[in-house]
Amino acid sequence: MRQKIIVVGGSGYSLTPPFVKAADNHFLPFFLGELCKRHSTASMDPAQINTAIVDVVNTSRILVQSVLNRDLQSQARRRRRLRQRGDESDEDMDIELSQTMGPCALEILVVMWQVLAIERRFWAWETSTDWWDHIVLRVWDDSQWLLNFCMRKGTFMELCDLLSPALKRHNTKMRVALTVEKRVAIALWKLATPDSYRSVRNQFGVGKSTIGAAVMHVAKAIIKLLLRKAVTLGNVQIIVDGFAAMGFPNCGGAIDGTHIPVLTPEHQGTQYINRKGYFSMVLQALVDHKGRFTNIHVGWPGRVHDACIFRSTTLFKWLQQGTYFPDQKITVGDVEMPIIILGDPAYPLMPWLMKPYTGSLDSG
């Protein structure tokens, strides 16, 4: 007969051992039966839950002790019968009794399995996803999407489709998987705002650890699937024409570095303190006439100078060899000028890199 007992995480079931009879009143308090219908972990305070746990543990102890007592009684009865027969020595009796100890251990394992093999339910904090499901997806227009996610809804959905092969998860018996759209939205919201993990958790109705995992998963998916497609040189002539319209001929891009704030590293922390006084990692980027990345390099500590970083990159090698841009030159005065890039005074002056004049101008 299956009877309910209260356990942590929900109600479970236990098989009553065959030796527990109706007359064994000392077992009845532990097999709660119909009383369990009046209780659940939702209606119990911590003290009651602790009491229920103790009851379950005591139940297993009593069952094991009962099996041991029953086995000892069985051995005593067998010893008496052997003595009454009188045809065996004490040594023979000890050998025969020792051979009967196996079933006792087996019964203990069976009873313990019956007590501890409990059907459990998985619990999680109750949260609300109404804001995402009903407000953001159904009510917000493109202006609100631009303000909060830095992109229109159509662009967001296109991004989700591109990242879906790396982000899609299957539902399990424990829980329903986050959709790709919600996973990407969590990552974009966290990256675009200074909100804490607690704030984002309340906003989207997920756990804090889920937020951290979503940010990392989306970032890795973007690197794997989109980085080489999005950060690319593209049509050089369109870029050159764009810069020419802005007043600078035969220009293929503008280069600079930006500091990404990071947490204090455990080792060599001073190497990451930049000239502005905070810990950072440097991102060097080459952009086109519309400010779109065409080449990036990231990873150097914030203390390293821009020129030093630039000289260590593959971009510098390509520009030095003349293989990054097509061999397209114009004549300025009597000088042939290849396609160049523009940099600030921190960068070195090169035949293919122009920077502002840093010396003093002669007033004469």
Instruction: Report pLDDT for 235.
Output: 93
Q: What is the side-by-side order of every strand in the sheet holding 293-301?
A: 293-301, 280-287, 251-261, 340-342, 353-354
Helix H, strand E, coil C: the string for 158-211 is HHHHHHHHHHCCCCCCCCCCCCHHHHHHHHHHHHHCCCCHHHHHHHHCCCHHHH
Q: Quote the mean pLDDT of the chain.
A: 79
Instruction: Express as a percent the part of the chain with pLDDT over 70.
Output: 71
Average pLDDT, integer, range 280-295: 95
10 band by pLDDT with thresholds 50, 70 and 90: very low
The alpha carbon torsion through 179, 180, 182, 188 (nearest 10 deg) reads 170
Least confident of 4-13, 22-31, 52-61, 127-136: 4-13
What one-character DSSP code corresponds to residue 283?
E
- Quick one: residue 244, left, alpha or beta (phi over 0 = left, psi -120 to 50 = alpha)? alpha
* Residue 298 DSSP class: E
Q: What's the pLDDT score for residue 68?
A: 75
pLDDT on residue 122: 52
Q: Which residues contact residue 19 at a Cβ distance below 8 angstroms, ignoring those fewer than 6 apart?
A: 66, 67, 70
Indicate left, alpha or beta for 9 from its phi (over 0: left) and psi (-120 to 50: alpha).
Answer: left
pLDDT of residue 5: 40
With both helix axes pointing from N to C terminus, report the angle between 46-85 and 90-98 in degrees, rounded to the nearest 10.
140
- Please say if the pLDDT value at position 346 is more than 50: yes
| CA–CA gap between residue 267 and residue 263 (Å, rounded) | 12
Task: Look at residue 118 in the predicted model and tell me its pLDDT.
Answer: 52
Confidence band for 73, pLDDT divided at 50, 70 and 90 = confident
Residue 295's beta-bridge partner residues?
A: 286
Return the pLDDT at 119.
55
Phi-psi region of 291 (alpha: psi -120 to 50; beta: other; left: phi over 0): left
pLDDT for residue 110 is more than 50: yes
Q: What pLDDT score does 88 carry?
A: 52
Mean pLDDT along residues 241-247: 94
Q: How many CB atoms sit inside 10 A of residue 241's CB?
A: 13
Q: What is the pTM of this model?
A: 0.59
What local confidence, expressed as pLDDT, does residue 40 receive? 53
What's the rounded mean pLDDT across residues 89-94?
54
Instruction: Decide if pLDDT at 184 tops 80.
Output: yes
pLDDT at position 50: 65
Strands 340-342 and 251-261, sheet pairing: parallel
pLDDT for the residue numbered 236 = 94
For 314-330, what is each residue's pLDDT tens digit? 999 999 999 999 999 98
Question: What is the per-residue pLDDT for 1?
Answer: 42
**pLDDT class of 259 with cuts at 50, 70, 90:** very high
Nearest to 236 by CA among 289, 310, 284: 289
